[in-house]
Each structure stands twice: as structure tokens, then as C-alpha cells.
């Protein structure tokens, strides 16, 4: 791992050097182990959420439909960055090809934008369940849920393709050194040797449409939910209703809080380290905690998980027919 010291002087050719790894040269073994454990936790936890929401009929409703798709997005989202980060730490080489960087930027921004829209759809689902329970099944039909999800993909993918093309047609300075752990728009624009005004216009327009607007809808939904909960006469009813929304609210806070700080605050050389580590929060830490948040706070998810694990355990135990030595698997 001693090779990590020379990361900054590595020549990139037509690619880039991710300088975030050069700052971890003395901790590469520890960081590799930590990120590997986190990645395995993300894959395991989110896969379990997907599995139980598919196999358990009690979880076949809009809330768990969106939760299942959120978990799938988390798996894909982290798989865009974490394997490359693990490889960079293992080989002590932070280089990434030009096309690899473009692909990473496109898929990361696309999946992140879709996740924002899915979180907004989940907030609307909770708003409808709390504020209009009599019409909930009529409003949140399976058809609407599928249209919301497909619409998110159809809107995001072409727009992010346009932004990726616009960024990677810029002329970059000779250093090609990104002060980051992965390819992202702000650090890439800092390397551009051209006017980036329209790139910034596109970036902030996309942030407005896929981050600020969904976040505003989530805030409005929860303001109305809180008002409805406070009007309930039963303390038990208030606690039960708010408990169903708490997990989603925590995930929204973690994801949007760090993302908004990174993309909307004024960037400078002094804040580059802060931006870099904050980016790890919404790309690595939040996907790891999502399954824990939903399973620990949600009784239905815990029950379905126990049922799944108990069923698997029972299938492993051989059954012995009374009065004989015959074993039935």
C-alpha cells in the first residue's frame, strides 16, 4: 500500500486522477476493509428489503412498492462508486479513464435524481394515507405507482445524458486531477479551461428539478401530515401514525441534508475536503443505514423478516417420521 504516496504524480493520459485516495495513503488497508464491510452491508440489507417486500403478501402495498424500488436504487447507486473505490484502495491507484469517469457521473447522477423523486413519491403516499385514508386505495393505485416510477426514469435518463455530454465536451486543464473520491460535476467543472456558465445553468436547473422541487414537496407533505396528526384525539393514534412516517423522514434528512450542502453551498479550495467527505455521507453512509432505519422502526418489516428467517430455518431442520428412522427433508 506504500504506492499510494505517489498517486498525485501518476500520469492520467486522457483520464483523471481521483486525489481523494492520495489523502488516505496511510490508512488504505483500514479504509479498504471499512468500505468493503459497508458495501457488503448495503448489498445484504437492501437485498433483504427487496426480498421480503416481494415474498410477503402483507407488504404488497404502495409504501413497500416504493421502498423496494428505493432499495434497488441504493444497490445500483453504491455499485457505481464503491467497487471503483475499493479497487483504487487495493491497487493504490486513483486513476480512472475518461469514459469510465463519464459513465460513473452519468449513472450516479441519474440514480441519485431518481432516488430523489422516489422519496417524494413515498412522502405523497404517506400524506395520502394520513390525510385522506378513505380514498387511499383509490388514489394510490398500482397503476399510479408504476407510472410515477417509470415517469421518473423516463424524465431523468435523457436529461442526465445531456448534462454528462455537456460536461465531457469541455476542454480540461492538463492536470486532470479531481479532488474527490469519484467523478462529480462540481470538481469536474473546476478543471475546465473554458467558460462554464451554461454548464452551471444546466447543473442548477437539474438540482432545482430533481432535488429542490421534490424536497419542497416532501416538506409540504410532512407539514400537512403533522397538522393531521396533531388533530388526532388519541395519543396512541398519533404515535402510531407518526411512527409510520418516521423512517422515511430520517432517510430524507440524511440524503437531502448532505446533498444540498454539497451542491448549493459556495465552493472553494478550502471547502473541497468538506465537500468530498460530505459526498460520502449520501453515497455510502445513507444507503447503509436505510435498511436498518426501516427494519428497526417498522413493525411490519421486522415481522416479515422474522417470518422469512424462521421459514428458512424450519426448512433446514429434518423431520423424523414417528415410529421410524425415516428422515424427510
Per-residue model confidence as pLDDT tens digits over 81-96: 999 999 988 888 889 9
All three cell numbers of 175: 492536470
Q: Are strands 327-328 and 177-178 parallel, antiparallel or unpaired?
A: unpaired
CA distances from 44 to 38, 74, 249 (A): 10, 11, 23
State the average pLDDT for the chain: 84
pLDDT in tens, 89-124: 888 888 999 999 999 999 999 999 999 999 999 999
Residue 242 — pLDDT band, cuts 50, 70, 90? confident
In the prediction, which pLDDT does 265 show? 63
In the prediction, which pLDDT does 220 show? 95
| Cα angle, residue 159 at apex, residues 265 and 184 outer, rounded to 5° | 40
More confident residue, 157 or 318: 157
pTM, entire model: 0.85
Q: Which residue has the cell 395520502?
A: 128
Q: Which residue has the cell 448495503?
A: 42
The residues near 251 (Cβ < 8 Å, ≥ 6 apart) are 119, 286, 289, 290, 293, 294
CA distances from 77 to 89, 135, 286, 291, 312 (A): 19, 34, 11, 15, 29
pLDDT in tens, 160-197: 999 999 999 999 877 788 888 999 998 899 899 999 99
Domains by residue range for the chain, with CATH: 2-305 (1.20.1070.10)
Amino acid at each position: 500500500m506504500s504506492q499510494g504516496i505517489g498517486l498525485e504524480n501518476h500520469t492520467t493520459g486522457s483520464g483523471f486522477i481521483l486525489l481523494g485516495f492520495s489523502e488516505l495513503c496511510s490508512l488504505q488497508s483500514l479504509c479498504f476493509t471499512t468500505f468493503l464491510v459497508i458495501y457488503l452491508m448495503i448489498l445484504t440489507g437492501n437485498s433483504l428489503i427487496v426480498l421480503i417486500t416481494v415474498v410477503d403478501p402483507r407488504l404488497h402495498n404502495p409504501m413497500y412498492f416504493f421502498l423496494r424500488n428505493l432499495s434497488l436504487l441504493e444497490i445500483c447507486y453504491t455499485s457505481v462508486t464503491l467497487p471503483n473505490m475499493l479497487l483504487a484502495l487495493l491497487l493504490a491507484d486513483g486513476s480512472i479513464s475518461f469514459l469510465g469517469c463519464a459513465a460513473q457521473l452519468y449513472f450516479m447522477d441519474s440514480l441519485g435524481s431518481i432516488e430523489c423523486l422516489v422519496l417524494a413519491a413515498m412522502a405523497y403516499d404517506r400524506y395520502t394515507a394520513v390525510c385522506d385514508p378513505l380514498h387511499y386505495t383509490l388514489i394510490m393505485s398500482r397503476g399510479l405507482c408504476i407510472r410515477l416510477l417509470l415517469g421518473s426514469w423516463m424524465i431523468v435518463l435523457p436529461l442526465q445524458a445531456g448534462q454528462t455530454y455537456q460536461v465531457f465536451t469541455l476542454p480540461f486543464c492538463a492536470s486532470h486531477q479531481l479532488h474527490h473520491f469519484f467523478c462529480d460535476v462540481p470538481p469536474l467543472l473546476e478543471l475546465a479551461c473554458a467558460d462554464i456558465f451554461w454548464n452551471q445553468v444546466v447543473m442548477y436547473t437539474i438540482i432545482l428539478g430533481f432535488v429542490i422541487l421534490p424536497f419542497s414537496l416532501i416538506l409540504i407533505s410532512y407539514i400537512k401530515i403533522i397538522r393531521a396528526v396533531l388533530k388526532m384525539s388519541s395519543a396512541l393514534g398519533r404515535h402510531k401514525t407518526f411512527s409510520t412516517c418516521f423512517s422515511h423522514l430520517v432517510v430524507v434528512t440524511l440524503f437531502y441534508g448532505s446533498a444540498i450542502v454539497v451542491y448549493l453551498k459556495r465552493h472553494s479550495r478550502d471547502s473541497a475536503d468538506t465537500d468530498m467527505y460530505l459526498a460520502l455521507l449520501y453515497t455510502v453512509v445513507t444507503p447503509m443505514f436505510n435498511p436498518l432505519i426501516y427494519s428497526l422502526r417498522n413493525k411490519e418489516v421486522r415481522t416479515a423478516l422474522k417470518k422469512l428467517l424462521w421459514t428458512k430455518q424450519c426448512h433446514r431442520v429434518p423431520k423424523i417420521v414417528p415410529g421410524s428412522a425415516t428422515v424427510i427433508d
